[in-house]
């Protein structure tokens, strides 16, 4: 009876150890695959974000009317039609 309990205990320990090792390696391989796909998705998102930022900078650089400080007629407030003679028959 004592020998039977020891045998079953040894079998249970070996089975538990084998299951733990198999589970570890199975989880490790699945985790690596998940990490690769996450890294690819993150790299793609970073590339898209960088492209949008570069596009925005290029659009701002190409737009000559982007800032109010670049308006050359900002300080001019004269009326060009003030001294124009409209009626040619008026004296």
Give 12-72 as a 3 state SS string.
Answer: HHHHHHHHHHHHHHHHHHHHHHHHHHHHHHHHHHHHHHHHHHHHHHHHHHHCCCCCHHHCC
Domain limits, the chain: 2-60
Using DSSP's 3-state secondary structure scheme, residue 53 falls into helix
Q: Which residues neighbour 60 within 8 Å (Cβ) at sequence distance 6 or greater?
A: 66
Residue 49 above 90 pLDDT? yes
Q: Is the pLDDT of residue 64 over 80?
A: no
Q: Cβ(67)–Cβ(61) under 8 Å?
A: no
The model carries a pTM of: 0.41
Could you read off the pLDDT of 10-48 as tens digits, one per residue? Answer: 999 999 999 999 999 888 888 888 888 888 889 999 999
């Amino acid at each position: 009876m004592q020998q039977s309990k020891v045998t079953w205990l040894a079998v249970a320990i070996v089975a538990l150890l084998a299951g733990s090792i198999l589970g570890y390696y199975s989880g490790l391989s699945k985790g690596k695959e998940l990490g690769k796909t996450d890294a690819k998705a993150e790299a793609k998102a970073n590339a898209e974000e960088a492209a949008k930022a570069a596009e925005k900078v290029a659009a701002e650089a190409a737009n000559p009317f982007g800032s109010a400080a670049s308006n050359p007629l900002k300080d001019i407030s004269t009326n060009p039609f003030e001294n124009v003679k409209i009626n040619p028959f008026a004296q």
